[in-house]
Chains A and B, each alone.
Chain A
Amino acid sequence: MIAMLMIALMIISIGALMNRAVTYYKHEPWEEYLTLIGNIELSSHRLVELSLSNYTNTQPSNSSVLRSNLQKWQTDLTRIYPGYGVSLNYTLADGLYTFSGTAIRYSLGMNYTWQKRASFSVANASFDLNINSIGLSGHKFLTVALLNLTILSVNTETSEITVTVKKENGIPLLDLEKEDFQVAGLNVTKATSRYDEQYVVVYVIKCAGTITLPVTVTVWDSRGIKVTAKYP
């Protein structure tokens, strides 16, 4: 009888332990941790975009702005999320890379190649995230911010310039307005987008006055990243 009671007690103890384990895994805020990781990833990406915006809009360009911002971000993360044990390490792209078929020579994680028919501004950093409080270590993610402007054609008779504007992964931008374009020496009167079989979305920039070649077009996207292209 005593043996039976002992077995019963063991079964009940195991049951209680299993119940506790299941309850823990069910209600430990894993989703909250995922969102915390998501927030850090998204903010790091935004910081790369912000740094590229600063780099492309400042004359003379501050080539170390990305490194400097990331250094501050590393420190400030511990202030924003105290008690989590967050540490973020970064590596800036340096040297020759190929991204979406384009050769890019980075310096301190950034590059801009302007005054060409197909011009771009790009920033690239990879991260390594550790959060001690939840036992996360070595979570890696890569962030690339890119803006590409390509002048497809210029019609001097109608004073229209046709361009494509794409961001990283070749995604065309759909929300640009005439205020986002600038044509050197001319006023932009209208910028309209239309579907194109080859480029998906193209913008037709209508200018006041006569276009003389070569023509220089500048665009800013909603992230504040700037690119200047020249045709021919």
Chain B
Amino acid sequence: MKMRNGNKGQIRVIETILASFIIMFALSFANILAITPTSPKYDVTELQKLGYNVLQDLDEKELLPRFVYNREWGNLRAALRVTLSSDVYFNLTVYDLHGSQINDALLFYGNPQTFADSTNIASVTYGLVGYPARVNATYQAVYQPRILILQLIRG
């Protein structure tokens, strides 16, 4: 009877060790799956959200189409710089539907080396349909889509 009780005690110890291993394994497993706010994937998603919101905000204020169709590249760059925080670097390119680049000025802010080295670049695609241009005493409103590709990274 004494021997049996002693064996039971040993088994409890083994059980406890095994349970500890299982808990350690589970915690490591959960840690691998989790996307924490400090992980690169999370940051890219956040930057994409930020990029979309900035473009949409400028579009709602009727500024984005004006800047793009009137080729006010300096104003567009300034608007993005003001709206985005200083540690967010950006590169905006405007294309027509055939993939030809429209912006003849560089719409860039940040360190080019950071862009070249970074593997976590957030990319946002935004579409515009056209903008009425005032010609003499009337308006010319032509359907002329533009595709905006905004790339963002943390500096």
Contact of A43 with B34 at beta-carbon distance under 8 Å, contacts A32-B52, A35-B53, A80-B147 already known: no
Contact with A along B139-155 (1 / 0, CB 8 A): 11111010100000000
In contact, B22 and A51 (Cβ under 8 angstroms): no
Within 8 A of A (CB), among B1-25: 11, 15, 18-19, 22-23, 25
In contact, B130 and A47 (Cβ under 8 angstroms): yes
In contact, A47 and B48 (Cβ under 8 angstroms): no
Within 8 A of B (CB), among A177-217: 182
Q: Which of B55-63, B76-84, B103-111 makes up part of the contact surface?
A: B55-63
Query: Count of chain B residues with Cβ under 8 Å from any Cβ of A?
Result: 45
In contact, B141 and A50 (Cβ under 8 angstroms): yes
Contact with B along A20-43 (1 / 0, CB 8 A): 100100110101100110111011
In contact, B139 and A77 (Cβ under 8 angstroms): no
What is the minimal beta-carbon distance from A67 to any residue of chain B, in angstroms? 12
What is the minimal beta-carbon distance from A215 to any residue of chain B, in angstroms? 18
Compute how far the CA of A51 lies from the CA of B147 in the bound complex, rounded to whole angstroms.
Answer: 19
Nearest B residue to A80 by beta-carbon distance?
B127
A222 at the interface (CB under 8 A from B): yes
Query: Count of chain A residues with Cβ under 8 Å from any Cβ of B?
Result: 44
Residues of B within 8 A of A43 (CB): 127-129
Compute how far the CA of A2 lies from the CA of B63 in the bound complex, rounded to whole angstroms.
Answer: 68
What is the minimal beta-carbon distance from B46 to any residue of chain A, in angstroms? 9
What is the minimal beta-carbon distance from B50 to any residue of chain A, in angstroms? 10
B35 at the interface (CB under 8 A from A): yes
Q: Which of A4-12, A99-107, A130-138 makes up part of the contact surface?
A: A4-12
In contact, B49 and A4 (Cβ under 8 angstroms): no
In contact, A32 and B48 (Cβ under 8 angstroms): yes
Binding site for A on B (CB under 8 A): 11, 15, 18-19, 22-23, 25-26, 29-30, 33-35, 41-42, 45, 48-49, 52-53, 55-56, 59-60, 62, 65, 97, 125-132, 134, 137-143, 145, 147
Binding site for B on A (CB under 8 A): 1, 4-5, 8-9, 12, 15-16, 19-20, 23, 26-27, 29, 31-32, 35-36, 38-40, 42-43, 46-47, 50-51, 53-54, 57, 69, 72-73, 76-77, 79-81, 182, 220, 222-224, 226
